[in-house]
Amino acid sequence: MHFDLTQEQLMIRRVLRDFSEGEVAPGASERDKTGKFPSDIMKKLAELELMGLPFPEQYGGGGADSISFAIAVEELSRVCGSTGITYSAHISLGGAPIHLFGTEEQKQKYLVPLCRGEYLGSFGLTEPNAGSDAGGTQTTAVLEGEEWIINGSKCFITNASYAKNLALTAVTDKSKGTNGITAFIVPTHAPGFTVINNYEKMGLHSSNTTELVMENVRIPKENQLGKAGYGFKQFLITLDGGRIGIGAMAVGIAQGAFELALEYAKVRRQFGQSLSKFQAIQFKLADMAMQIELARTMVYKAAWLKDQGRKFTKEAAMAKLFASEMCMKVCDQAIQIHGGYGYMKEFQVERFYRDAKLLEIGEGTSEVQRMVISREIGAQ
């Protein structure tokens, strides 16, 4: 096995690290406090031609691989989880289903502007009564002549306030269960379509999390995404890729918290010496570094399998599960190393801790990941 990154991947890491430290980190705490969306950062990422990083160049993308995408998400998340999730969702949830299942016409119309960063990508799956049980979708789509009429609601949707169009699921044949769910591309400015942005969240304060309400929203027949009745299967495939993004976010947030803790341990003096001289702290830091590296390796493996066109459902679930739970533990220990100061916003690790919790919930809870892994290993 070959573990060295390619020259292109190393270049992407250098570019994203410089960008993150120069453009993203300086305002991260203030954005967390105010909830201001990082529109200026997204615009600059578009200027660097990074908003379509893993998509083909023919659609305005960067033609890079999934490992490069994971690296980009990791570097952004290392300084700001809100920026990391905004970017990750734009690509892995907003652009991916159009790239995977769209017609050539749909790709030209919707994927190209996403790759250019003209607006953000978004994805509507979760509903008030269909969270982990995504097959319990209640939003409906009825074909009337040459138009689909959509009614229903979605919740916890990332980026929708900044998306001109998004992919979502709706029931088209209730009698067929999950085989009666179809995907659609829906303009957010369509009459009857309302985006509500009023959640008060524990963390990721400057990311955009919304509700969607659809009341007799009419879209052209050609806005169906993929085959009728295949929407549920398509979105499960999309989620596999999205879990690589969440795993990368977890690695990035954990890395950022670890670096803050390591630096603090070196400069903070207690009992006449720096904290880093105490074996108890050394062992904490050693465990944190080990767990981060293990998670990073698993995330890159899942991304590599995806790039090879091989099945990666199990590995993506493992990467997401291990990385997200690891991230919570690392952020917890980062606060512990900081002591009382870790509880204060000024030292930032409490922000990392709050941001980390969502990673055990989004893109399938830890419990759902264990269900996926159990199924993939034949234990169900």
Alpha helices in 311-358 (DSSP H): 313-338, 349-357
Biggest distance spanned by C-alpha atoms of the chain: 80
> Residue 182 pairs with which residues in a beta bridge?
170
Q: How far apart are CA 38 and CA 5, in angstroms?
A: 29
Q: How far apart are CA 115 and CA 64, in angstroms?
A: 12
Quick check: 206 and 81 in contact, CB under 8 A? no
| 3-state SS, residue 265 | helix
Q: Can 363 be counted among the known catalytic residues?
A: yes
CA distances from 273 to 265, 276, 341 (A): 10, 8, 18
* Two tokens, residue 120: 């953000």
Amino acid at 342: G
Q: How far apart are CA 166 and CA 190, in angstroms?
A: 11
Q: Is the dihedral of CA 116, 120, 124, 126 positive or negative?
A: positive
Closest CA to 54 of 43, 45, 66, 44: 66
Q: How far apart are CA 350 and CA 48, in angstroms?
A: 31
Amino acid at 297: T
Catalytic-role residue among 21, 57, 363, 367: 363
Closest CA to 39 of 92, 98, 89, 87: 87
Q: How far apart are CA 200 and CA 330, in angstroms?
A: 25
List phi, psi (to 5°) of 202: -65, -40
> Which residues, at least 6 apart from 214, have a Cβ–Cβ distance to it below 8 Å?
139, 150, 151, 152, 153, 186, 192, 193, 194
DSSP 257: H
> Residue 168 pairs with which residues in a beta bridge?
124, 184
What amino acid positions are annotated as catalytic residues? 363
